[in-house]
Structure 1
Amino acid sequence: MLDLKMMQKNPEIVRESLKKRGSKIDVQGFTDLDTQRKELIAEVEALKAEKNAVGPEIAKRKKAGEDASDLLKKMGEVSGRTKELDKELTEVQTAQNEWMMSVPNIPHESVPVGASEDDNPVRRYWGEKPEFDFEPREHWDLGTELGGLDFECAAKLAGSRFSISFGWCARLERALAQLMLNTQTEQHGYTEVLPPFIVNKATMTGTGQLPKFEEDLFKLTDDREFYLIPTAEVPLTNIYAGEVIDGDMLPTKFCAQTPCFRSEAGSYGKDTKGLIRLHQFYKVEMVNFAHPDKSFEALEDMTAAAEKILQLLKIPYRVIELCTGDLGFSAVKTYDIEVWLPGQNAYREISSCSNCGDFQGRRANIKFQPKDSKKKQFVHTLNGSGLAIGRCLVAVLENYQQADGSVVIPDVLKPYMGGIEVVKP
């Protein structure tokens, strides 16, 4: 959520931000509500002042035995009008808060201006694309023929956009998760967490999934408004919701492997085959609570930590920076890591690392106490995939495939695979 005082003083900043994002939200809606709010407050204060001024006169008349019925009647009218205004004020403030909750974060000045993903600049490439003396195949064919993936069985159990893994494939996914968690905890200073996979409405609101993106979530049919998490970012970021962190604790870095549940409401017809766009998948997520002066440095470190996994796997990738038109709702700056998939002859997203500034800190009310100041500040939060496990499995299958349909296990994963070095037909 944006700073209310900033919105009131500098609505043009937000108007320009929304323009760069390609958003149709009209800042005038906020300005009109704020003007109405100020007018209501002024009228309420005037009535309260009038009531305070007349009160002594009523007391004076009563003490002198004089008639004060006219003043009492007037004060009754004032009280009635004050109640009406208080109700109107509550309605306006609620509408204003809802408006604030619907507005995306302001992109950092360094973010390139663009309309869509087509305008995202590539910042760097890593690794050499593998060369094959045969036509490389897609992961769904490789995984199915090797007996590791079964999409038909998953459809029988749950419907479309689900997968089920058997034997070597399930173990390979577990190996990938272990590699990711071990790397982030042992080399990059993250503390491993096993959070709830079901959260409440307040938790979803704190990170920005609600109210704007409810259609993308799986909501439980329960009066308590529980949701399945779309990413571990949601519970991890809210660990300190409503709290004040000691400044010495920053940065605090968490990582977690969890299932992720997404309705994919806006992806009809996209990636209907394979593991790229499922309703349920596994991911290792990284979250960082950072000092405002250090958050952009932390973004570079987080992105490097995610890249490290692909470097260990020796799989080529590229890093792009999202332009204003492709930037996520809560982010001020984002890097996407796209892995090379030879079977699809394309780069596909495998990680997204974002600095959200104080946007989520405000929504979840997460502050810290600086050493050199008595004034508390909102923390800056960052999140990033380290990595999406299913997509990483896709990258391994397609980059390490052989002409006979077998798949070689990357060297870094062999210690986790119980002696399996090659998966053969």
Structure 2
Amino acid sequence: MIITELWTHSLQRCFMWRLNLIEPTSHESKVLDEADIQNPTLRSYIVWRRSQMLWSILPLSSSVVTFFIDLIRNAEDILNPKLKGWGNLLVNLSSIANIIIFISVVLATGMPYGKCRVWSNWRLSSKILRYGFIISFILPMIPAFIPLKYYVKDLTPPESNFAFSDLDLSTLLMEMEFGEGDITKQQEIVQWKYLQWKIGLSNFVKFLPALFSFPAALFGASLRIKGLLPKSTLSSWMLTVAGPFLSLVILAAAMLIIQFYGNGLLTFGVLFLAVGPWLNVFRRGLYVKAPDEETRKSIDCNQKVSLVFKLGGWILVIIWAIADYMKGDISEILEFVKLILEAWGRVLGSTVLFADVLLRMTITNWKEEMSLRSYSMDKFYQSIDAGIMNMKGVDDDVPIGPVIPGECDGH
């Protein structure tokens, strides 16, 4: 019963953006009291972190489990004899990154009960999560920067004068028209290029969950810090910037994938997913100003509309995946499911990481503003205004800066 209550509360909190409305359970209150955390805002934030991390463990664990199943059943694929010793490590770095991020989230959460409750120690939990996610973000990028010929045994690429101009579609098609006497050489070159493109695409797809999770998590973290600290303007502007960033990442990834696997369902699904984040840009005024009850209701409505676009996009993508992958092998279906679960787990965990960073930035920004209030900046800006007014070509009848009583009225 206690475990059911724990996961039910956690799931509800994952969908909430107004974190200041979250109330700790009786057990969580006891743990927070023992950790001497009495501030209501911090108590709400820390129990939200716990819930978010608990639910990120589930999808991340699926990626780890499938890796070890593949290791047991298909050891020749994990430890490929055609690769050099460090080459096997290199091609499996993305799987190792998933294991690292899973371990970091588990360690940052700790045990639900008992003395190993790391989630109540915000500084330690945040540090573990930060290092784990940084390492897991870097590792999948490494294979993409090392050419295939350096980690494959006895591989000699054919000589080719391939240039970036050859990326043109007509050039690629012309190269496939082999001349008499050059068939073998041309075939080797085309096959080598095909292998390079395939490896490059594979590296990109493996990095896709990490790439997608970055702006998606920043977007979610900004929204939740705005809900936790309603009068914070820093999170409001971060939310506005993160939306287009997320949309561009979705579109950039789709441009490549659609050419290989796409159809109308995938195209419309991607467009739905890309449109949703822009709603916060179009209605950015709601998030920037200090919210009253009417503003909060408008934000809730805006988030619901954004959720409709998001759900609609994912439904279309899932329908496309089912229709497309059912034609293939069951292993391909499982690979796609693992990719989705990995992306979901990364987004949940990264949201906590970015929320920690934004909360610290908001407090630091407030401290800086407090220090600036200790002395007047009027003379500093008045001198700049006077310098602008003395510039040639500036119309003296149209003051650029604020009108200072006694200076512009002739007295």
After TM superposition, the score normalised by the length of structure 1 is 0.27
The structure where strand makes up a greater share of residues is 1
Bigger proportion of residues as helix: 2
